[in-house]
Structure 1
Amino acid sequence: MAHAVRIDETGGPEVMRWVPVEVGAPGPGEVRVRHEAVGLNFADTYFRTGLYPAPLPNGLGVEGAGVVEAVGPGVADFEPGDRVTYTGSPLGAYSTERVMPADSLIRLPDNIDFETAAAMTMRGLTTAYLLRRIHPLEAGDTVLLHAAAGGVGLLFCQWAALLGIRVIGTVSTHEKAEVARAHGCSEVIVYREQDVAAEVRRLTDGAGVPVVYDSIGATTFETSLDSLARRGLLVCFGTASGPIPPIDAMSLAVKGSLFVTRPALADYIADPAERAELAGELFDHVGSGRIRVEINQRYDLVDCVEAHRDLEAGRTVGSSVFKV
């Protein structure tokens, strides 16, 4: 019988329950997917805690990869046996199989395995829009990236290196610093021991960087602003330490006429053609080996509580997946 993770209330990892479920047949525009692997993302904890509101009871998980088992009426782009991956709404990837909208799926190339797909579809498409859509970066530019040894961080560093972009990355430990360097991070700052903004100024001859990519949020917001060059852009694409504080518009002027954006992946893959373009570039880099996807943690879905505790405690490096 199929199983899934469900939550009836928001809270800590303990609110997740592994339960049997009836999947049923796909309706119009839907498919039934049998998962081979499921992604573990920090966004999952936001839904679990209620930081991202969602109706309850509900499932969890926004990323998975597997095989189409059945298609509903009106589905023309997929058929049983197709290899697929996906990221985004609706929630429910923490499951052995599920029914979901067909237009959420992305066809998976044969040269990318299911675990790799589940580990990198969300992170990879995030990296794609950060580097290819947010700001017109050019070879020779320098940027600051927080959490450089995380799942997005390792993909970002490799992709940036391919584009000739110098990345100054922040990490919590010297061990993570070595991991970041091995994946193309040009300069690494251990934030527990160094003043990040001061180091960024030193490494840029006092100028600061044109763009800061910040997935941490509350604890790094001011440091990120202080690391920017005049008319620089702060990209707040995650809130691992909590939401960013209210923005004082005048402080942006005082610090150099700065810009701040809070993008969401959904708005960069809502257009099917744009999603296909970003996914195609991502799959080409990964399939050719130019970008390596590091899966350093594997969990069984039934062990989702342990997985969330590890993730929130900062015990993970690179990408994590659930085996199905």
Structure 2
Amino acid sequence: MMRAVVVKTPGPVESLQLAEVPEPSPGPGELAIDVAYAGVGFVDTLFRSGAFGVPTPFTPGIEVTGHVREVGPDVVGFRPGQPVAALLNDFGRGMRAGGYAEVAVAHAAMATRLPDDADLARMAAVLVNGVTAWLALHDLARLGVHDNVLVLGASGGLGSIAGRIAAGHPARTVTGVFGRTPGRPSATGPWTHTVRSDDLGSIGSGEVDVVVDPVGGELSRRAYELLAPFGRLVVLGNASGHEHPVSTDSAWLGSRQVLGLSLGGVAHLVPDRVAAALSAVVGLTHRDVLREPAPAVLPLEQAADAHRALEQRRAPAKTVLAVR
């Protein structure tokens, strides 16, 4: 038996209950991992609340670090005791998640080995957002050194890491869009410029090559209108909860592109790309090239507190749960 945070009936944060459940075993192509840290993201609150209609009972958590506990059949390149990072959101293979637990099972294609001296808490904080941002910028937007990048939701975890990856590419400029007055760009931050969401009109039409959009809604529509010819709007989410469809005529006449990425829906179809992105993100983080702020760390028992802070928009850029 092991400790895990379980949702028996989807609902508010009180639906997260610490329980003793059977330990999972790896199947063919899978690894069992002794979880050290589990990342907490806004998408976890959607799973918990029932937005995606996943079967219950289930354990949230789609990004973990720890050590290999057991190797399933047909797995090569991993052995018990190795430090690893893994994504648990390959939902095209069936329901996964399960990170808020002492033992989690991941597909080997969604895991990568870590250096023995890796900071496991820091690594757990960059996995989902880092891989999503990497694929969005490199594989979809095909970011170039002459591109001007606009990042919506720049204060959030995904927006922040997308800005840092774009700046490190390097793009020509990286502008962060904040909901509140952002002040001047920090010397340690990724932003060439910052702007409030209600001042987006200060950016001239045709001055943006790539928009990274985890926000959606009216802000997404206004950002799309700023794209230059051959500009790319990369949709990574809809935190606003509102959709503003883009007309195909505007894409045609403006020679602009709308691209989308749902990592959990496509990971099983492009495992090599996911593995390459995962390796790149953890490597850059370990070498301190990708300098995301240190995550807040809470014990597993306080998973509900982490969800509450996310829903009330008062959470730090990233929180991880200390499991072991």
What does 1:290-301 align with in structure 2 at a 5 Å threshold?
A: 290-301=289-300
How far is 1:221 from its partner?
Answer: 2.4
SS of the equivalent of 1:85 reads strand
Determine the structure 2 residue equivalent to 1:156.
162
The aligned amino acid for 2:256 is L
The question of 1:91 aligning with 2:106 is answered no
**Equivalent-residue separation in structure 2 for 1:142 and 1:131 (angstroms):** 12
The question of 1:118 aligning with 2:124 is answered yes
The 8 Å contact of residues 7 and 16 in structure 1, kept in 2 or not, is answered as: yes
What does 1:127-166 align with in structure 2 at a 5 Å threshold?
A: 127-165=133-171, 166=173
User: Across the two proteins, how many residue pairs are aligned to each other?
Assistant: 315
The 8 Å contact of residues 109 and 275 in structure 2, kept in 1 or not, is answered as: no
How far is 1:270 from its partner?
Answer: 4.3
The 8 Å contact of residues 169 and 180 in structure 1, kept in 2 or not, is answered as: no
**Equivalent-residue separation in structure 2 for 1:244 and 1:154 (angstroms):** 23
**Equivalent-residue separation in structure 2 for 1:321 and 1:250 (angstroms):** 44
The 8 Å contact of residues 110 and 275 in structure 2, kept in 1 or not, is answered as: no
The aligned amino acid for 1:200 is I
What does 1:241-260 align with in structure 2 at a 5 Å threshold?
A: 241-253=240-252, 256-260=254-258
The question of 1:222 aligning with 2:228 is answered no
How far is 1:20 from its partner?
Answer: 1.2
The 8 Å contact of residues 185 and 194 in structure 2, kept in 1 or not, is answered as: no
Bigger drift between 297-306 and 36-45 goes to: 297-306
The aligned amino acid for 2:137 is L
Relative to structure 1, the CA distance from residue 249 to residue 49 in structure 2 (aligned partners, 3 Å threshold; closer, same or farther) is: farther
The 8 Å contact of residues 148 and 180 in structure 1, kept in 2 or not, is answered as: no
Determine the structure 2 residue equivalent to 1:4.
4
The 8 Å contact of residues 8 and 15 in structure 2, kept in 1 or not, is answered as: yes
What TM-score results when the alignment is normalised by the length of structure 1? 0.87
How far is 1:242 from its partner?
Answer: 1.4
**Equivalent-residue separation in structure 1 for 2:282 and 2:142 (angstroms):** 22
**Equivalent-residue separation in structure 1 for 2:139 and 2:177 (angstroms):** 23
Determine the structure 1 residue equivalent to 2:37.
37
How far is 1:177 from its partner?
Answer: 5.0
The aligned amino acid for 2:21 is V
The aligned amino acid for 2:47 is F
SS of the equivalent of 2:140 reads coil
How far is 1:16 from its partner?
Answer: 1.9
Bigger drift between 33-42 and 158-167 goes to: 158-167
- Please, what is the CA RMSD of the aligned residues? 2.4
Relative to structure 1, the CA distance from residue 210 to residue 152 in structure 2 (aligned partners, 3 Å threshold; closer, same or farther) is: same
Deviation by residue 1:121-166 (Cα, 9 ceiling, x = unmatched): 1111112112211123221321110122322223222222222311
Relative to structure 1, the CA distance from residue 146 to residue 288 in structure 2 (aligned partners, 3 Å threshold; closer, same or farther) is: same
SS of the equivalent of 1:133 reads helix
The aligned amino acid for 1:217 is G
- For structure 1, the 5+ residue unaligned runs are none
**Which structure ranks higher in relative contact order (CA pairs < 8 Å, sequence separation ≥ 6)?**
2
What does 1:224-239 align with in structure 2 at a 5 Å threshold?
A: 224-239=223-238
SS of the equivalent of 2:35 reads strand
SS of the equivalent of 2:217 reads coil
**Equivalent-residue separation in structure 2 for 1:172 and 1:269 (angstroms):** 34
Relative to structure 1, the CA distance from residue 268 to residue 140 in structure 2 (aligned partners, 3 Å threshold; closer, same or farther) is: farther
Relative to structure 1, the CA distance from residue 115 to residue 240 in structure 2 (aligned partners, 3 Å threshold; closer, same or farther) is: same
Determine the structure 1 residue equivalent to 2:93.
none
The question of 1:168 aligning with 2:171 is answered no
Relative to structure 1, the CA distance from residue 247 to residue 55 in structure 2 (aligned partners, 3 Å threshold; closer, same or farther) is: farther
Determine the structure 1 residue equivalent to 2:199.
195
Determine the structure 2 residue equivalent to 1:82.
82
Relative to structure 1, the CA distance from residue 51 to residue 178 in structure 2 (aligned partners, 3 Å threshold; closer, same or farther) is: farther
**Equivalent-residue separation in structure 1 for 2:267 and 2:320 (angstroms):** 24
**Percent identity at matched positions?**
29
